[in-house]
Structure 1
């Protein structure tokens, strides 16, 4: 994790330096600024990950200059506020350089606005005790609103369609990793399906994720229960996130009439691999035919072309609502309500105007409402842990207590239940004897790897204040 993030930072710095030194073909000034702006967004995202994973980290503004000066291994860590200031400065410059519109799938100014809103929302709680900095919350709301009102972007109407190959570059996706379903060269491809899908899910013999699965706690959050043969499915995000008994997917194995989870595990595999009664859906593409239908070409062993969305429009909607709520216990702000309810309307499969008249419409928002909505909307997209990191900034006891209370254990006897259709609590039951996770304050950031510590002893020392004004682009 550390090596990859520092490599991205160095790569972004190198792109900017090379363009400034004019070491490439002659292109327009607009193109140069666009590419530099894209590099700055990735650099900001890199530091956003670094500060949330490791906490205090060094600021490496120009790799070439530091290598030339011989000081590269003598860097001191900057404070967390310094790092956030650096991220903000980087994104502000990116906004100045980036166009409002870019080629489909590429970063534009609204990608930077959206990321900046998320950075401000996260920073708002750092060093606070039970509340958040109002000026940061106001900035988070303001930048999110620019995306909402000025970008022209809209939610993909059907939630599950966000994660289909044909929507790799949808207007909902503000920032994503885009892949090519090929192994030559290695690393251009998305290989998540191999780690997440049931054995035999593709014809390449490259899937081994069936023995894991979304947690029972996440099923609880969706109001779902693996100890039932009936799926409630009112929130369409559940089926688009985890596959369970009774679920059939027309977009997987389309050439075979769809993928039926129960039929597959009972009659093809002859076992239920997952100990939680659910398997992964997001990040899967299906078989080779599904890949051809989605992108026009086939995939390869451990290689798909499915994009990995890192910042979506629905996330920005929820950021706006949470920033507007801020330190209040509740809000009836019309725009905040609209944003959350637009996310919910799609989840319940209804047009927004029709959803207004249902009992599922929220007329008052609390933090718990938005907190849960973020979990259901972004489940298994790699965001939830970072929500806990930012919650821990200002409300550590809640973050720790929630994690300790999660139902992370497994079921016994699911195969017998699904084969017979009759639940015998003596045979099929949830294991209650799993101890709660030992979560403490120290678990909300990782230590630097030994390789980094060997190269730079100052990483073991306290962070120092860094004057961010010394840096510019």
Structure 2
């Protein structure tokens, strides 16, 4: 059965990473910590809210009773998807004005961009929830509870620290030099210090290493909660990109934690597309950690509802929304032509709707141009529609970490000179992915030889395997291609044939509202 975490109102006076003047960027509160933090059951319910903060925007169905009073209404995952994908070769939006996404699409945003601001405050809202939970989960605070409940809450603390580390990882990757606040800092009018990307990197690394032994193993973890393997995967991601964040390569460390995951008992899901349907909560053989979306308890118009409804046209005479498990398409997304060009026809991951569409985009906001993605669905394994998307959104979870990514991280780190594995192992792992993708055509069209395993191949294979899974921007930056003229795609920089952009767009700026509120903060290039 799919495990859903039920949410309750989070308590006390939580503040985000700024002073009181910061546009009322506060979580709404309706009760006090003294009346909530009284039992392990209540701690679990508050922890559930932290998990849900990645996919919902408020306390009520569909985002009612909003968490943030001055937020523009976008949830964490909707914002994260757009910041990671909208400006890359993987995504094209037809709703530039309506979704205010033109500046993300053309790599021309500034410190007043509403999507950048929403992402920033969503991250720090999750951090604030985690900090408040941890303030109330100290050994001293829980000492009066029964011993069994104390043990449970100690476990919950590890969850909260992981979720906070995950949010800080996203903040590091997106914004680099950021405000830093934990549960030991004052509650109230407080201006957190600015931490450099190296300092944030070191903090995340230390947190994850410190809690890994307190997290459950794969066989003990409850679906939807974090495990040791989730911490190892996040560490691997951190180390893979360490050279971007700290100017120090850590590929051997990346391999170390990839190897930890490889020994944890995971295996590839034989049917690639089942990883992205409404029954993907059953894919715990490959999915290491997912963000839960449910049409009854965690209704969201962002997250995977945004992806699945957004990938279906609302004007096409050819495309049938029911084939994707949705009531009607929103029509906001296609892919830029460079993405389908990476696949050959024998690759089973080539999941695009092409009828009536051109591959390349003479106009970016015209639905006739560009293929539609068909990777994600709201269909069950039996091919049935899982939910009424017009009423409750989709039932498809977002697989934030999965084994295939670990395979590719290890292979890339080996090629880049990391120790602890071998070229033969890297080749074997990538060929496992290719065997799944090509099926009966693997020997003729998919199998790689040792000479095929190059960095350029790995980047392309990551696009083929992980398209629309919020990795592309980070990957292009790591390869030095996101802003430079070394790789040009259509509409990069706001022109049809593409162009290089200023290197400052390798990260996002701290929003102007927070710069005004916190004198410790500044943007170096914006």
TM-score (norm 1): 0.72
Aligned to 2:372: 279
Partner of 1:244: 354
Residue aligning to 1:400: 484
Match of 1:317 in 2: 407
Using the alignment, how far apart are the partners of 1:446 and 1:238 within structure 2?
A: 31
Q: Do the aligned residues in 1 keep the contact of 2:438 with 2:446 (CA within 8 Å)?
A: no
Preserved contact between residue 179 and residue 306 of structure 1 (Cα < 8 Å) = yes
Give, in whole Å, the separation in 1 of the partners of 2:412 and 2:265: 22
Q: 1:6 aligns with which of 101, 124, 146?
A: 124
Correspondences of 1:429-440 after superposition (within 5 Å): 434-440=496-502
Give the direction of change, closer, same or farther, for the CA distance of 1:359–1:315 in structure 2 (3 Å limit).
closer
CA drift of 1:83 comes to 0.7
Report the CA distance between 1:189 and its aligned residue. 7.5
**Aligned match of 1:107:** 226
Secondary structure class of the residue paired with 1:453: helix
Distance change >3 Å, CA 290–CA 312, structure 1 → 2: closer
Q: Does 1:201 align with 2:321?
A: yes
Is it true that 1:65 corresponds to 2:185 in the alignment? yes
1:180, 1:190 within 8 Å by CA — same for their partners in 2?
no
Q: C-alpha deviations, 1:133-184, integer Å up to 9, x for none?
A: 2xx1111001001101x21011110111111111224221112210111388
Kept after mapping to 1: 8 A contact 2:485/2:499: no
CA deviation string 1:354-397 (max 9, x = no partner): 957876223232111211111111111121001123334xxxx6
Correspondence for 1:370 among 450, 458, 464: 458
8 Å CA contact 1:121–1:319 kept in 2: the answer is yes
2:469 to 365, 381, 394: 381
> Unaligned regions of 5+ residues in structure 2, if any?
1-118, 315-319, 359-364
- TM-score where L is the length of structure 2: 0.65
**2:439 aligned residue:** 349
Q: How many residues are treated as equivalent by the alignment?
A: 383
Is 2:293–2:299's contact at 8 Å kept on the other side of the alignment? no
Larger radius of gyration: 1
Provide the C-alpha distance between the structure 2 equivalents of 1:444 and 1:189, rounded to a whole number of angstroms: 24
The structure that is helix-richer by fraction is: 1
How far off is 1:322 after superposition? 1.0
Q: 2:167 pairs with 24, 37, 46, which one? A: 46
CA contact (8 A) 1:216 1:276 kept: no
Structure 1: distance between partners of 2:388 and 2:143: 37
Structure 2 equivalent of residue 143 of structure 1: 257
1:471 maps to which residue? Answer: none
Which 4+ residue blocks in structure 1 deviate beyond 3 angstroms?
23-30, 124-128, 182-190, 202-206, 289-295, 297-300, 354-359
Is residue 153 of structure 1 aligned with residue 266 of structure 2?
A: yes
Give the CA deviation at 1:29: 4.9
Deviation for aligned residue 1:206: 5.0
